[in-house]
Amino acid sequence: MRLQRIVGEDRAIRTNIYLRNALLGTAWSSRLEFPPGFQFGAATSSYQIEGGWDADGKGPSIWDRLFHSAANSGYFNQTGDVAADSYHQWRQDVKAAADMGLDFYRFSISWPRILPTGRTNVVSPAGVRYYSQLIDVLLAAGIKPVVTLYHFELPVTIQDLGGWTNPLIVDLFGEYARLVYSLYADRVDTWITINEGIVICDLTYNFGQFAPQIKEPTFAPFLCNKHVMLAHAKAYRIYDEEFRAKCGGKVSIANNLLWVEPVTPDDLELAELGRQHSIGRFSHPIFSKEGGWPPTTEKLMRAVSRREGYSQSRLPAFTDEEKKFVQGTADFFSLNHYTTSMIRPARAGEAPGTWFINGSAELNAVLEHPPGSTYGALDIMPIYPPGFRRLLNWVRQQYGDVEVFVSENGLATSGTNLEDHIRVDYLTRYMEQVLLAMEDGVRVTGYTVWSLIDNFEWFDGYNTKFGLYEVDFEDPARSRRPRLSAHHYACVIKHRRLKYPESCVQERRNGRR
Ligand code: NOJ
């Protein structure tokens, strides 16, 4: 009954805006074709696949320390110590990427593998060689490396100085970025500085579960937020000033964009505030015309802080100089998207939601799952494809005609499941929404599946699988096998369409291609 009411209202809200698009969707779906030049890829991150946690002099990261600590050693009994062993098995990863015909492979560099002390006083030759070989072999296979500098792996030495809450991180990250560019920018032309600031800041400090396991939801998420913006800008400017002329590449930051919808028409304003609070805090300083924090978030944080008795906003201000330093520091808009949430005000006595991206403590709001959504293995990620198109349109409406790169999208399954029809369905429906958004005028140039192979899903360990390729974690060689979704993706790439001849998957399964 209640669900029906919400669905009805939800439809009413969207009817006008989306009627044109919905009709368009019907016409368009018969084509479902990607334009020439559209790039397809898959992604992983260093801690989640590499293993070799202390191999050849690698320094410890905050994740090594966390999973080696007595308090956490029992967690599924799982760590990233070996993971998919890509430190040794990386040629298998390149082979998987090549077998599917990927245009690019997005992977991340482990800061402490290259710089065991976190600083540039010690550079690990083995660490440098590892990524160098990977890049060379990818290029030889015709696959473009897309490199993330930071995917949650802070050296412990820097955490011990306060990590992302200490402004020192800005220069330290810059120093690390410069070193990595100097090693690989001759061969890598697409760079992502930082992956998912909202996870590094909000998820980490609001819950205190993610490394470094510090729970401090009052100031830490916002200090961290500001430093993520400045550190990204620093790395961007270093590339711009010292490498761009020679190497001509592109740099951006990958933000996690949860799409937020109102539960009822009364919640439209709250939904927009929710988007600004979660997406805008990490995008507005870079991509907006005015720079700085989103004005509505700034206002909210000022009011909340005043109510709580603070003399200043808990959201630290940017100086004019900082604002200018951050503004415009991206050559494209890189986004990770998985799911949609509905938002409504918290009722009297109801605890505001603290789910996934959060910020809702300040918003005094509760996030609900979209009615009628289905699920993969993670119930925090309802499947709701239409949200993706709306999100992409929102990005364009907010930040203009920017080039958009989908740097992650994917679905979790569990158990051994080579016939992953649910993932095939998810990827098809989400890619369809990308095509529809492109038809609406959003300039999407690339799409990335998370993940190339099964990997260590942080606190969900190895039970949660995102891979196009299954990894046998019982096998010392960590053998990889393509799932149905890998064949499907390969066929989409080959035919550049979501609908391709049935025989394509069959031929791949039979080893005939
Ligand atoms: C986003 C993160 O970048 C990645 O580390 C994680 O595994 C996936 N989402 C799936 O949760």
Mutate to test the pocket of ligand 1, among 458, 459, 465 (most ligand atoms within 8 A of CB): 458
What is the spatial distance between Cα 431 and Cα 497, in angstroms, rounded to a whole number? Answer: 10
Residue 77's pLDDT is what?
Answer: 77
Question: What pLDDT, on a 0 to 100 scale, did the predictor assign at position 196?
Answer: 98
| Distance of CA 124 from the midpoint of ligand 1 (Å) | 27
All residue ranges of the chain with pLDDT < 50 are 1-28, 30
Q: Ligand 1 in contact with 45 (CB < 6 A)?
A: yes
- Please give the pLDDT value at position 93: 98
Cβ–ligand 1 distance for 336 under 6 Å, the answer: yes
pLDDT in tens, 481-493: 999 999 999 999 9
Pick the closest to residue 487 from 31, 85, 101, 204 (CA basis): 101
| 181-233: pLDDT as tens digits | 999 999 999 999 999 999 999 999 998 989 999 999 999 999 999 999 999 99
Quick one: which atom of ligand 1 is closest to the CA of 455? 7
First to last CA, the chain: 51
Q: What is the pLDDT of residue 73?
A: 66
User: What is the predicted pLDDT for the residue at 19?
Assistant: 34
Q: 141 CA distance to ligand 1 centroid (A)?
A: 26
Q: Is the beta carbon of 457 within 6 A of some atom in ligand 1? A: yes
- For ligand 1, whether the C-beta of 196 sits within 6 Å is yes
Taking the centre of ligand 1 as the mean of its atom positions, its distance from the CA of residue 80, in whole angstroms, is: 14
Max CA distance (Å), the chain: 69
Q: Is the CB of 409 under 6 A from ligand 1?
A: no
Atom of ligand 1 nearest to the CA of 378: 11
- Kind of pairing between the strands at 144-150 and 104-108: parallel
- Which residue among 153, 261, 408, 432 is the active-site one? 408
Q: What is the topology classification, in CATH, of domain 2-340+374-508?
A: TIM Barrel (3.20.20)
Residues 6+ apart with CB under 8 A from 405: 252, 332, 333, 334, 335, 444, 445, 446, 448
Q: 50: Cβ below 6 Å to ligand 1?
A: no
- Find residue 340's DSSP bridge partners: 259
The Å distance, Cα 195 to ligand 1 centre, comes to 9
Ligand 1 geometric centre to CA of 348 (Å) = 34
Q: Count of CB atoms within 10 A of residue 164's CB?
A: 28
Q: Is 272 a catalytic residue?
A: no
Q: Which of 411, 457, 468 to mutate to test the pocket of ligand 1 (most atoms within 8 A of CB)?
A: 457
Q: 347: CA distance to ligand 1 center in Å?
A: 31
* CB of 195 closer than 6 angstroms to any ligand 1 atom: yes
Place of tokens 């830490």: 220
Which of 409, 420, 481 is CA-nearest to residue 450?
409
Three-class SS of residue 1? Answer: coil
pTM (whole model) above 0.85: yes
Rounded to 5°, the CA angle 83-127-240 comes to 110
403 is catalytic: no
Closest ligand 1 atom to Cα of 412 = 10
C-beta 356 within 6 A of ligand 1: no
Q: Is 424 helix (H, G, I), strand (E, B) or coil?
A: helix
H or E stretch at 290? none
CA atoms of 375 and 277, how far apart (whole Å): 26
pLDDT of residue 26: 45
Rg (CA), the chain: 22
Separation of CA 139 and ligand 1 centre (Å): 25
Active-site entry in 50, 153, 196, 322: 196
Atom of ligand 1 nearest to the CA of 381: 11
User: Which residue, chain included where needed, has tokens 């330290």?
Assistant: 172
Using the mean position of ligand 1's atoms as its centre, give its distance from the Cα of residue 365 in Å: 25
The residue type found at 440 is D
Q: Which atom of ligand 1 is the closest one to the Cα of 195? A: 3
Dihedral class, residue 296 (left if φ above 0, else alpha if ψ from -120 to 50, else beta)? alpha
d(CA 450, CA 188): 20
Of residues 57, 202, 37, the one with CA closest to residue 124: 57
Nearest CA to ligand 1 atom 6: 457
